[in-house]
């Protein structure tokens, strides 16, 4: 087997899969004790039962133990296969021992993408019950995903088709009229902020005439007192001071975190290092892995710094 493609690019994997007994697969990292109680694990088990294993695990041969493979990606899938009594699995054999690459390079389905996938499957004759069984969710969840874009303007669907929006974001957008939906979507894209709180703020600032006809606010005789306005102004001033204090240290803190994470990513890219940590310092390995999985400074830390 040639190690390179005709264009001179080195293959990242062996060109054929290999069927490996489950008992011959050695985990590269310990699983958390509560992992089997997670929704993700239940979804994997349900999906394997319904349609089989879709994504094969990625392994690398153990140089010191013939017939044994280290698992680079797919620990949860293998645990699910064990629980289902499956004795062997087809695996992709990697030529590289980097354990951090795979999940870090996978783009998870956003809500709009999931909607398109489910809607297309239903159009092709797949029943809602079958989809629910394969995805590990109930039929109501499938129906909600299939109707996700109902009441959403076509231009907004196009703007947000690949955005990491949650289902709740579209529930909020649906309360606005078409023009206001487009303005909201453009603001979300412009600020790279696709969270529900941001859309709720846009909704709160939406004039009644720009609301969807079924969501027009009822007229109310309640008025805001001067005391309430004064209190809101004081709270806003305090919040601005807190934000300014956080801004002064946020960049430096984020830089330190980025440098530390980059170092740990390289460190955990070595099979030998991960193996030693798993054997001698498993608690360190768990914390290091948590740090390498960070993509940004957690908002909770920023909020705590402001308090």
pLDDT at 124: 84
- 66-77, pLDDT tens digit by residue? 888 988 888 888
pLDDT at 273: 86
Domains of the chain: 18-104 (3.90.1530.10), 111-215 (1.10.10), 226-306 (no CATH)
Measured CA to CA, the distance from residue 142 to residue 82 in angstroms comes to 28
pLDDT at 226: 65
pLDDT at 305: 40
pLDDT at 223: 53
Tell me the whole-structure pTM to 2 decimals.
Answer: 0.46
pLDDT at 146: 86
Measured CA to CA, the distance from residue 288 to residue 98 in angstroms comes to 15
| pLDDT < 70 positions in the chain | 1-12, 97-109, 214-226, 228-229, 246-248, 250-251, 295-307
Measured CA to CA, the distance from residue 11 to residue 102 in angstroms comes to 15
């Amino acid at each position: 087997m040639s190690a390179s493609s005709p264009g001179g690019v080195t293959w990242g994997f062996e060109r054929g899969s290999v069927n490996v007994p489950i008992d011959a697969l050695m985990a590269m990292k310990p699983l958390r004790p509560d992992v089997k109680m997670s929704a993700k694990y239940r979804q994997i088990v349900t999906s394997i039962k319904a349609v089989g294993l879709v994504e094969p695990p990625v392994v690398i041969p153990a140089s010191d133990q013939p017939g044994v493979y280290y698992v680079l990606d797919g620990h949860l899938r293998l645990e699910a296969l064990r629980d289902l009594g499956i004795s062997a699995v087809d695996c992709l054999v990697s030529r590289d021992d980097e354990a951090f690459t795979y999940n870090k390079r996978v783009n998870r389905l956003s809500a709009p993408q999931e909607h398109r996938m489910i809607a297309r499957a239903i159009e092709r004759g797949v029943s809602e019950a079958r989809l629910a069984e394969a995805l590990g969710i109930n039929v109501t969840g499938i129906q909600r995903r299939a109707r996700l874009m109902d009441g959403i303007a076509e231009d907004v669907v196009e703007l947000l088709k690949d955005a990491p929006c949650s289902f709740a974001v579209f529930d909020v957008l649906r309360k606005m009229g078409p023009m206001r939906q487009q303005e909201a979507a453009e603001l979300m894209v412009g600020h790279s902020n696709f969270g529900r709180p941001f859309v709720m703020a846009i909704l709160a600032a939406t004039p009644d005439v720009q609301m969807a006809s079924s969501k027009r606010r009822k007229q109310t005789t309640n008025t805001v007192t001067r005391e309430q306005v004064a209190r809101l102004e004081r709270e806003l001033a305090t919040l601005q001071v807190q934000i300014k204090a956080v801004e002064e240290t946020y960049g430096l803190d984020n830089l330190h975190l980025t440098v530390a994470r980059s170092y740990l990513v390289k460190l955990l890219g070595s099979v030998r290092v991960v193996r030693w940590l798993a054997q001698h310092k498993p608690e360190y390995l768990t914390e290091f892995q948590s740090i390498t999985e960070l993509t940004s400074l957690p908002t909770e830390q920023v909020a705590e710094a402001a308090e």
